[in-house]
Structure 1
Amino acid sequence: MSYSREAERGIGTAEHTHTVARKRAAACVVFTDGAGRVLLCEPTYKRVWEAPGGAVEAGESPRGAAVREVSEELGLKVEPGRLAAVDWVPPMDGRTEAMVYVFDGGRLDPELTSTIALAADELRSWRWCTIPQVHERMRPLVARRIESALAALESGVTAYLEAGHPVG
């Protein structure tokens, strides 16, 4: 590998970035209620349920995507808390690999919950779900991610996951 004079002086170039892997990115927010249940959304366009969230757009931070998606999907203007988990998802089902960032939405009180306004073109309904219900309604990988994120929030750490499984 050859380096330019700029690189030798520490200025560097971005040429090497053309050969590194490009991963999709998504962000979601885990909200809980007073009973410790998780808010799940029922999309109109697929059979499995999801946590509020979605794709990170070009030039957008994962946290910014989480804020935008919660606003678009649920009509809630909330600032998520800390990062609960990062999940590397391998290529599957015709999709490239991805990084999914899970943020703490905190506990929603009944007053704020009553203001949820679903994006009708995206979501059919929402429900508070127990962990067994999370596993019934979500794809196994995503259910593992949500359960791991909740455990990380309880323990005060940020979890690193691969396909929903804690690593390290």
Structure 2
Amino acid sequence: MSAAHARVGASAGAVVSDEDGRVLIVKPTYKPGWNLPGGHIDEGELPRAACARELREELGIEQAVGPLLVSAWVTVPGRGSHAYYVFDGGTLTRDRSESIALQPEELAEHRFVAPQDIGPELIPAPMSAAWEAALAARADGQPRYVEVAVR
């Protein structure tokens, strides 16, 4: 397959908060850094449905997935391009937050973090624009489009 015909990957994530307004982040077992909860979109699957499935599989929670916050196009030299959709995952009650059960093959840990404390030590620097856009879109209700070119 030539570079001109390379397949594009896609994933979906959610901004989920607790009752104190902190954002849920997860630490994958298969790569460094932290992420929003979510994951790969399977062939034939719609992004919102994939996001809900990933929340159920990786966190053990049934959570309604709300409106799209960010559509990001991520390009990594040598690895191709990736479409990343971030949805509003709503707010978890204290009981639901405490009932999170991580899928150990995928996630090492989770935590709730104040939005202003999500910095480069937690998220990969190239993805900070997508995270910031998602938080801003959630605050003002205006979805964003972001292009990320990893160098």
Instruction: Give the TM-score normalised by structure 2.
Output: 0.87
Aligned partner of residue 98 in structure 1, secondary structure: strand
Please state how far the C-alpha of 1:44 moved relative to its aligned partner.
Answer: 1.6
Which letter does structure 2 place at the counterpart of 1:100?
Y
| Partner residue in 2 for 1:30 | 15
Matching of residue 119 in structure 1 with residue 103 in structure 2: yes
Asked whether 1:46 is paired with 2:31, we answer yes
C-alpha distance in 1 between matches for 2:64 and 2:79: 29
* Larger relative strand fraction: 2
Instruction: Report the Cα distance in structure 2 between the residues aligned to 1:83 and 1:68, rounded to whole angstroms.
Output: 16
* Paired residues of 2:129 and 2:146 also in contact (CA < 8 A): no
Q: Of 81, 89, 98, which residue of structure 2 is paired with 1:105?
A: 89
Q: Structure 1, residues 36-87: CA drift from partner, whole Å, max 9, x if none?
A: 2210001122221111111111111111110111111100111210001100
Q: Give the number of aligned pairs.
A: 145
1:1-168 paired onto structure 2 within 5 Å: 22-92=7-77, 94-135=78-119, 136-163=121-148
User: In structure 2, what is the equivalent of residue 12 of structure 1?
Assistant: none
Secondary structure (helix, strand or coil) at the match of 1:163 reads strand
The percentage of counterpart residues that share the same residue type is 39
Question: Contact between 1:30 and 1:146, CA under 8 Å: does it hold in 2?
Answer: no
SS at match of 2:76: coil
Q: Which runs of 4+ in 1 moved over 6 A?
A: none
